[in-house]
Amino acid sequence: MGHASTRTVTLTGLSAHLIDIDADTHAGAGAAPGDAGLHVVGLPELSVWPARARIRAAITNGAPPWPDTPVTVSVTPALPVYNAAADLALAVAALAAAGLIPPERITGRVFLGELALDGQIRPIRGVLPMVTAAVRAGISTVVVPAACAGEAAQVPGAVVIPATRLADVVDDLRHGTLRNHHDHGPEVAPSSPFAVDLADVRGNEAARRALEVCAAGGHHLFLSGDGPATMLAERLPGILPPLTDQAARQVAEIHSLAGRPGRAPGVTPPLSAPHHTSTSAAIFGSVAGNRPGAVSLAHRGVLHLADAPEFTRPVLDGLCRPLDSGQVHLTGLGRSVRYPARFTLVLDARPCPCPEGQDCACIPEVRRHYRARLT
């Protein structure tokens, strides 16, 4: 028993940071038998308690017996908020320091995964940018949840080792039982061409022409009046210029952070169409959950706001900043995050608040008031 070190990755927005995890048992020398436990430093006090309890339960239920000695784990640099993706790295470092895993086997690897109380390794958001940061830092071997292996394998140069349980990781570090992802099956297929086509829209020559001008010149678009606005907006990404490799990779990373790993890097621009009941956090993103919003999911693609006057005033006014700067800047909880948000905006609005297909009896004043909600 002694000292062990490994690494993990955490995200602030899309910015990835490698984290050093050091574990040591010497700090507990001379402690009473009842003092055995996991002591974590370098994390906010409020986030340490649930992480400690979760990690110790996972080790107790899914790995060798907990060592009868205190284990001190240090996280460097100190994190303002704990990311559950570091659970696996903390558990592996603690077991290695206690002599239950060869310490030399955990160096040169990055461990990513949230632990359940029974030792299962749960999938996490943001695997793609995390693995990319590890490979750029010169660490090609990454251990990830099995459900995220296909997504992680999209990163060129990454040696992905999928794991379902903490016990599987322990066995692999002892005996080399796990295989890399390429031995398990094919990688996630690139995103397919857009499923709908502008040729499906019959008539509406003026609107079709407007879409073509919008796509060719990079302009925003406002569709007014009754008509197939949603059908037209859904077909705009199909006539936009294809994404470059760099843009496609960035779009895939945003969707990975949002928990939508099904989108592999491809050439088709994305489409984001939030409902008018969406909150500001759903539109612009959340600092607390480090989750991008609808405007970032539309990055390098199309943001469609159907029935635009129905959106709240803060949402409509808040669009001005990303339209100008191409990004969303959020602050809160002592942190500041930025999400890319450079998109083509498509708004559509009916002449009045009457539902589509219903005979309208609105007076001109009601129509003017409804349209005035769009500043």
CA distance 114 to 117: 10
Beta bridge pairs of residue 165: 120
Establish if 189 belongs to a structural domain: no
Establish if 191 belongs to a structural domain: no
pLDDT value at residue 196 = 77
| C-alpha neighbours within 13 Å on the C-beta side of residue 4 | 27
Per-residue pLDDT, averaged over 85-104, amounts to 90
Which range of 198-202, 223-227, 282-286 scores highest in mean pLDDT? It is: 282-286
Residues 149 and 222 in one domain: no
Residues 204 and 302 in one domain: yes
Residues 89 and 115 in one domain: yes
Q: Among 155, 183, 211, where does a domain finish?
A: 183
Residues 230 and 168 in one domain: no
Residues 163 and 39 in one domain: yes
Residues 343 and 210 in one domain: yes
Residues 217 and 176 in one domain: no
pLDDT value at residue 263 = 61
In tens, the pLDDT along 250-274 reads 999 999 999 886 665 667 899 999 9
227 backbone φψ class: left, alpha, beta (φ>0; ψ -120 to 50): left
Establish if 104 belongs to a structural domain: yes
Establish if 192 belongs to a structural domain: no
Residues 108 and 10 in one domain: yes
In the predicted structure, residue 177 carries a pLDDT above the cut 60: yes
Residues 347 and 248 in one domain: yes
Residues 174 and 112 in one domain: yes
In tens, the pLDDT along 343-357 reads 999 999 888 888 776
Domain that holds residue 208: 198-371
Q: Among 159, 183, 207, where does a domain finish?
A: 183
pLDDT value at residue 357 = 65
pLDDT value at residue 210 = 92
- Total number of domains constituting the chain: 2
Residues 208 and 179 in one domain: no
CA distance 246 to 61: 43
- As a whole-number percent, the residues of the chain with pLDDT over 70 amount to 88
In tens, the pLDDT along 313-364 reads 999 999 999 999 999 999 887 788 999 999 999 999 888 888 776 777 788 8
Per-residue pLDDT, averaged over 118-136, amounts to 95
Establish if 106 belongs to a structural domain: yes
Residue 51 burial class via C-beta count within 10 angstroms: exposed 0-12, middle 13-18, buried 19 and up: buried
Establish if 93 belongs to a structural domain: yes
Q: Which has more pLDDT, 226 or 370?
A: 370
Per-residue pLDDT, averaged over 53-79, amounts to 82
In the predicted structure, residue 30 carries a pLDDT above the cut 60: no
Q: Of 132-141, 175-184, 194-203, 307-316, where does mean pLDDT reach its minimum?
A: 175-184
What mean pLDDT is reported for the chain?
A: 85
Q: Among 133, 160, 183, where does a domain finish?
A: 183
Per-residue pLDDT, averaged over 174-189, amounts to 57
Establish if 188 belongs to a structural domain: no
Establish if 190 belongs to a structural domain: no
